[in-house]
């Protein structure tokens, strides 16, 4: 009431009293002692808060994390594994206030939705001009129309047409055991090739000890799958995908497809959907797998085989190939490159690889490109080297890959909650 009457705050009065004691204006030892105690109490509270924050940070740092697949180039954000579906679950595990520190550490839950478009979101926040937004929507519509047109051609059996994408990272083992929350697990990858004519969905699955997320890895999977079709029925091929650099839009895959086009005397096209609007038919495959995985226990990476097989009944079950390290070939060999670069420009300010919206590979080794789906193809202005399309590629890996020592120890500790007949798999891992 006293403070309200004078219209001053408690902190201001405390500062006045502290100054008076310091200057010797107040001799009342009781008041002086009270102020000292109050100051000690405040200092102690600050120290406690710092200690709690430190403990909170240590807790969050211990939680297993994975990188973003879709936006790793533009963000350093890490994502918690799928054990947590909400911050509330993390809160329940920790039983303490954590949200502010969660954001300060630049964390997020698992993965951002791939269909959240940066340009569209920025436009809603008035951070993108009307002109930029209109151009973006036009590019999106053109790409979608292009895919529908080519899908119709595939149904008429004029071409082979596919969409490809990588599923969000899976983990192994997966159990509903709280002791696993803090343990780093093996990462499992699934590269899906989906036939737009007959809805055949082929899933290439491997764990991180067999291969990395490398351009040669994806090139091997795609080329071996396309060869299966070309061997049975030689027709031109069109492949739709997002513009992920190391996966779909790079010189390694471009050279591999160029050689494949020459080997089978066909034309092969790659077409890229607009960033932020890359929803494709293979997403339905991934959705079915996710649904089947709900409340499913995973002891070994090979358990994903049965999960994928059981995920769809019609029109045909999903197919899966579980891959070992000796499956992958090294397409990233400059000596076997027809083109050292697929960049349309050469100087600063010229067109970049990320500007490409379509690539066409002719049987004579020439590569054409587009920077918009409604434009005509132009010859790639790069010097072509002579390459024998029958040349063999070396194996990409000679041995299985090693994992970190921490992950190895975590896997050993997790064996205590796993059936004994699967322990051998984790004993074989190297670090």
User: Could you please report the per-residue DSSP string of 162-187?
Assistant: EEEEEPPPEEESB-S-GGGTT---EE
State the pLDDT at residue 300. Answer: 97
Same domain, 164 and 76: no
Q: Of 393, 262, 255, give the one whose Cα is nearest residue 337.
A: 255
> Judging by beta carbons within 10 Å of its beta carbon (0-12, 13-18, 19+), is residue 57 exposed, middle or buried?
middle
Q: Are 336 and 255 in contact (CB under 8 A)?
A: yes
- How many independent structural domains does the chain possess? 3
228 and 278 part of one domain: yes
pTM tops 0.85, yes or no: no
β pairing state of 201-207 and 170-172: unpaired
Q: What is the pLDDT of residue 34?
A: 61
pLDDT of amino acid 118: 87
Query: Ramachandran region of residue 107, left (φ > 0), alpha (ψ -120 to 50) or beta?
Result: beta
22 and 76 together in one domain: no
Chain centroid to Cα 185, Å, comes to 16
Looking at the structure, do residues 77 and 46 belong to the same domain, yes or no? no
Q: Do the beta carbons of residue 241 and residue 248 sit within 8 Å?
A: yes
Pairing of strands 201-207, 268-272: unpaired
- Residue 85: give the domain boundaries: 63-112
Residues 259 and 373 in one domain: yes
Q: Own/partner pairs for 124-127, CB < 8 Å, 24+ apart?
A: none
Residue 198 belongs to a domain: yes
| pLDDT of amino acid 97 | 47
Identify whether residues 321 and 279 lie together within a single domain. Answer: yes
pLDDT tens track for 74-117: 556 777 766 677 777 777 777 654 666 677 777 766 554 555 78
The verdict on 70 and 56 lying in the same domain is no
CA quadruple 135, 137, 143, 146: dihedral, nearest 10? -100
What is the token pair recorded at 338? 């027809």
* Residues 205 and 221 occupy one common structural domain: yes
Task: Give me the tens of pLDDT residue by residue for the chain, a chain 431 residues long.
Answer: 566 666 666 766 677 666 666 565 555 555 556 656 665 566 655 666 677 777 778 777 777 777 665 555 555 677 776 667 777 777 777 765 466 667 777 776 655 455 578 899 888 888 989 999 999 999 999 999 999 999 999 999 999 999 999 999 999 999 987 777 788 999 999 999 999 999 999 999 999 999 999 999 999 999 999 999 999 999 999 999 999 999 999 999 999 999 999 999 999 999 999 999 999 999 999 999 999 999 899 999 999 999 999 999 999 999 999 999 999 999 999 999 999 999 999 888 899 999 999 999 999 999 999 999 999 999 999 989 888 777 799 999 999 999 999 999 999 999 999 999 999 999 988 88
- The verdict on residue 118 lying in a domain is no
Nearest-angstrom CA–CA distance, 290 and 70: 18
- In the structure, how many helices (H) and strands (E) does the chain have? 13, 13
31 and 162 fall within a common domain: no
pLDDT of the residue at 270? 99
């Amino acid at each position: 009431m006293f403070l309200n009457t004078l219209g001053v705050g408690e902190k201001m009065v405390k500062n006045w009293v502290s100054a008076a004691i310091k200057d010797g204006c107040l001799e009342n030892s009781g008041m002086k002692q009270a102020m000292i105690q109050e100051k000690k109490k405040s200092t102690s509270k600050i120290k406690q808060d710092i200690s709690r924050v430190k403990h909170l940070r240590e807790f969050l740092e211990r939680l297993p994390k994975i990188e973003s697949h879709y936006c790793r180039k533009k963000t350093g954000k890490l994502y918690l594994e799928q054990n947590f579906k909400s911050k509330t679950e993390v809160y329940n595990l920790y039983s303490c206030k954590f949200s502010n520190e969660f954001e300060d550490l630049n964390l997020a839950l698992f993965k951002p939705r791939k269909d959240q478009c940066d340009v569209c979101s920025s436009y809603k926040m008035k951070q993108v001009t009307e002109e930029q937004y209109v151009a973006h929507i036009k590019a999106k519509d053109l790409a979608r129309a292009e895919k529908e047109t080519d899908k119709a051609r595939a149904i008429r059996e004029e071409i082979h047409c596919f969409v490809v994408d990588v599923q969000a990272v899976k983990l192994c083992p997966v159990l509903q055991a709280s002791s696993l929350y803090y343990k780093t697990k093996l990462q499992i990858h699934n590269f899906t090739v989906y036939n737009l004519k007959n809805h055949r969905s082929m899933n290439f699955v491997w764990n991180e000890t067999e291969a990395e997320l490398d351009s040669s890895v994806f090139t091997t999977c795609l080329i071996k799958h396309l060869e299966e079709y070309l061997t049975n029925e030689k027709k031109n091929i069109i492949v739709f995908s997002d513009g992920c650099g190391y996966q779909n839009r790079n010189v390694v895959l471009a050279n591999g497809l160029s050689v494949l086009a020459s080997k089978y005397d066909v034309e092969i096209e790659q077409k890229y959907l607009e960033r932020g609007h890359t929803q494709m038919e293979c997403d339905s495959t991934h959705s079915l797998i996710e649904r089947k995985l709900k409340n499913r226990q995973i002891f070994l990476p090979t358990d994903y085989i049965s999960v994928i097989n059981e995920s769809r009944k019609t029109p045909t079950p999903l197919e899966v190939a579980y891959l070992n390290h000796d499956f992958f070939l090294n397409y990233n060999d400059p000596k076997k490159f027809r083109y050292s670069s697929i960049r349309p420009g050469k100087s600063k300010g010229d067109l970049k690889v990320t500007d490409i919206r379509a690539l066409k590979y002719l049987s004579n080794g020439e590569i054409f490109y587009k920077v918009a789906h409604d434009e005509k193809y132009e010859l790639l202005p790069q010097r072509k080297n002579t390459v024998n399309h029958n040349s063999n590629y070396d194996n990409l890996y000679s041995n299985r890959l090693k994992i970190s020592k921490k992950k190895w120890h975590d896997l050993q500790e997790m064996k205590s909650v796993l059936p004994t007949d699967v322990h051998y798999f984790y004993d074989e891992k190297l670090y």
